[in-house]
Structure 1
């Protein structure tokens, strides 16, 4: 009876491209290949900084789709088995294949999620690095401006110190000259006192000097009048 049931199952699967047993064996081979490929993909993920292995991940995705297609076909075929024990057995086998296929799909989806997260983190790092470079350039510009301002203030301070030193030197020279003038004045007074000239004598000398000046002017005027009169008389 079991042979007849398998025969019936095989007849039912013939129209779908193979017997239930053939499709099951094919699904098992694809499962093994997919599991190995997924393990290899995960090893590559943790062994390098590569974001993705597109060819390998795409191949795994196609194999999982093939497993799901086999499960749909086997689910149709096991229902046509006449023997209930055989039907229950094949139902469990198909369910196990489907569960393992779902597990592989879940692992691949998690891989894609991790890969997407890595891509987002790399993008954020690149943006942060770009902003950091921009901020560094700004900080450098601010530092340069501040350094220039400090240098300018230092130069101004040096100029003020030089101007102050120059002013002090000039005032010192003026003070020296004033002291020399005072000393000369004191010497002159000492000389006058030594000669015995008094203020009245000095005033008399000044008065005599003014008289001499007027006498000279008067003589010059008289001379001009005489010359003019002689010139008129002769002409």
Structure 2
């Protein structure tokens, strides 16, 4: 159980480091956002696993301590998730502003209107629709990448659990086999001892009978 808790702390530290880069605008790419999203998903899985282990703990003191750790981890997770949502919204707002500025700059710098047969009011509405479509498409692609990353992570997590269960069963079988070998070796040693005791008894009996016959006749 302690290993799971340490793993959760390590995951939390990794997410915090990525969020710091994102917040300082060192890396605002789709890749870092997907990495943070996957990290949060992995952290939540680990917290749920640790929570399950804590509830099955038989020693009351250890259980209370573990449940307190679970509560703290969930608070930290919610804090990180809310921070990530705020940062994503900030980047979305920046994208909207940059696109609007770029479109307005192109229109002001162009000597020929982009739509010469329509008035300015309709042109602005169409630009707004284009911006909205672009942002929706970008957000859809991002959600698709994140969902794909979560699916891959989930598969890796399930495979890891399967390998752990297989390893546990192999170790149990190995321990059982090791115990059986010890019992067999003990039986073999005891059989050898009994065999020599029997031979010794036969020899002693024969010698006693010879001595009796030799000295009494």
TM-score range, shorter chain: 0.3 to 0.5
TM-score (norm 2): 0.48
Structure with the bigger RCO (C-alpha within 8 Å, sep 6+) is: 2
Larger radius of gyration: 1
